[in-house]
Amino acid sequence: MSSAKPFDVAVVGAGPAGTSAAIRLAQNGARVLLLEEKKFPRAKLCGEFISPECIGHFQQLGVMGQMLSAGANSLRETVFYSARGHQVAVPSEWFTSGATALGLSRSEMDQRLLERARAVGVTVLEGAHAAGPIIENDFVRGVKVKTSAGATEYRAGLTIDATGRTRALARHFDPESQRQSSKRRRGLVAFKAHLENTRVASGACEIYFYGGGYGGLSEIEHGLSNLCFIVSANDVRRLGSDPDRVLREVVMKNSRAAETLEQARLSSAWLSVSLDSFGRRMLTPANGLLTIGDAASFIDPFTGSGMLMALESGQVVADTIASQLGSVGDAPTVELIAKQYEREYIRRFDSRLRVSGLLRRAAFVPHLAEAAILIFGASAHLRRKLARATRRANDSQSTASIS
Ligand SMILES: Cc1cc2nc3c(=O)[nH]c(=O)nc-3n(C[C@H](O)[C@H](O)[C@H](O)COP(=O)(O)OP(=O)(O)OC[C@H]3O[C@@H](n4cnc5c(N)ncnc54)[C@H](O)[C@@H]3O)c2cc1C
């Protein structure tokens, strides 16, 4: 079965990248389809640290009030702790003056964005698994979808892969990069759960370094804390794939983590996922197909800026398409949009991906993390410069404080 009238744009994946693009496109008059395989609200593995620059995006998308009423917690600073307890703080306002970061569960945040997409006229389908692209004459012309009701096809002038690191559509076109990424496999596993009764400092996101990885703890809504950590797959195997043991025997080797997590109790199930490669992927893997968010590139979680990159790349793709909406399905326009999108994406994001890649080495090696914390702890100027290099500092963006 196939849907009757083609959409201007089909967006696949309703994380922050997909909803940001869909809302902005619909607000510009586009007919937009947004497909999501899960039914919302759904939990998501993430540090749930929403960096201060995201507030400007929430305001533009018309969801800031909803985030606050969902109970978003204000985070004034991020404090990095070495395994031995040395610490260095990065105030949130270094990224966007006058704004704080937010702590809010992905279940709440993503749900609010999805509701907004519906409200601005996006056709939203949940429980719709994108099985692959529709390809005609070397052009992607929409998406093949499976739902509980069966298989169907949705046609669109342009298709956007916003399916996160799975790259559900893009991966059909880059088997070579798939092979390389499995060769490059770092053997990392990430875990996340919500906790009660932690001793995390109020208003702080705390980052703990330990052998083979790092973790983050911060308060979210309703007095809960979110704990998310990355460890080596070898440690996970050695400890019988038991997240509680990994927490006690790896993460809590960090002295500050031992202090804040000693009395903590789980208030959700653990989620886990394995991580392979970081960095940029193919942005426009086929004619008529663009990637955004984690499907375009995966920035190191310690930067706390993955969701910002998702929201921002959604904005970049929407702005690029919106200026040529009248002829969006035509081959020359599709090619032009792809070129313009790539150029703007690289201009905005490549340098922060490079800086994060350089810092990655220190993040996974305790004595390097220790040295980095001592060096950057000694100079606020250096610290501020480095912190801003992991982002595109833009103080002119619209800002707000919730404190
Ligand atoms: C350990 C860890 C900690 C992190 N901590 C932070 C943090 O504290 N702050 C921060 O800013 N970033 C953090 N990030 C990064 C952040 O989670 C991502 O950058 C962000 O979620 C990317 O958004 P996205 O919309 O591109 O993809 P996602 O959020 O992954 O959304 C993709 C959506 O696509 C859907 N989907 C997938 N396949 C299909 C399919 N075939 N059909 C239909 N739908 C599909 C999924 O269900 C999902 O809803 C962290 C990442 C990791 C791994």
Domain boundaries, the chain: 7-48+105-183+277-361, 76-97+186-275+365-392
Predicted confidence (pLDDT) per residue in 178-195, tens digit: 555 545 555 999 999 999
Please tell me the distance between residue 21's alpha carbon and the centre of ligand 1 in angstroms. 14
Please tell me the distance between residue 327's alpha carbon and the centre of ligand 1 in angstroms. 31
Ligand 1 near 213 CB (within 6 A): no
Instruction: Judge whether 225 and 201 are in contact, CB under 8 Å.
Output: no
Q: State the Cα angle at 224 between 219 and 226, rounded to 5°.
A: 60
> Token pair 């052009």 is at which residue?
139
Predicted confidence (pLDDT) per residue in 36-63, tens digit: 999 999 999 999 999 999 999 999 999 9
Burial of 287 (0-12, 13-18, 19+ CB in 10 A): middle
Which atom of ligand 1 is the closest one to the Cα of 306? 19
Q: State the Cα angle at 225 between 223 and 230, rounded to 5°.
A: 175
Q: Residue 198's closest CA among 167, 180, 219, 175?
A: 219
Peptide bond into 301 cis (omega under 30): no
Q: CB neighbours (10 Å) of residue 149?
A: 9
Instruction: Judge whether 292 and 337 are in contact, CB under 8 Å.
Output: no
Angle between helices 16-27 and 106-119 (to 10 degrees): 20
Instruction: Judge whether 391 and 303 are in contact, CB under 8 Å.
Output: yes
Q: Name residue 208's beta-bridge partners.
A: 81, 215
Mean per-residue pLDDT, 190-204: 98
Ligand 1 pocket test, pick from 111, 294, 352 with the greatest ligand atom count within 8 Å of Cβ, gives: 294
> Token pair 């922050």 is at which residue?
16
Instruction: Judge whether 83 and 254 are in contact, CB under 8 Å.
Output: yes
Ligand 1 near 17 CB (within 6 A): yes
Least reliable range by pLDDT among 137-151, 302-316, 348-362, 368-382: 368-382
Predicted confidence (pLDDT) per residue in 93-121, tens digit: 988 888 899 999 999 999 999 999 999 99
pTM of the predicted model as reported, rounded to 2 decimal places:
0.94
Ligand 1 near 130 CB (within 6 A): yes
Which atom of ligand 1 is the closest one to the Cα of 304? 9
Which atom of ligand 1 is the closest one to the Cα of 44? 29
Please tell me the distance between residue 85's alpha carbon and the centre of ligand 1 in angstroms. 31
CATH architecture for residues 7-48+105-183+277-361: 3-Layer(bba) Sandwich (3.50)
> Token pair 């507030």 is at which residue?
55
CATH number (3.30.9.100, 3.40.830.10, 3.50.50.60, 3.40.50.11540) of 76-97+186-275+365-392 reads 3.30.9.100
Residue 321 has pLDDT above 50, yes or no: yes
Instruction: Measure the N-to-C terminal CA separation of the chain; round to a whole number of Å.
Output: 51
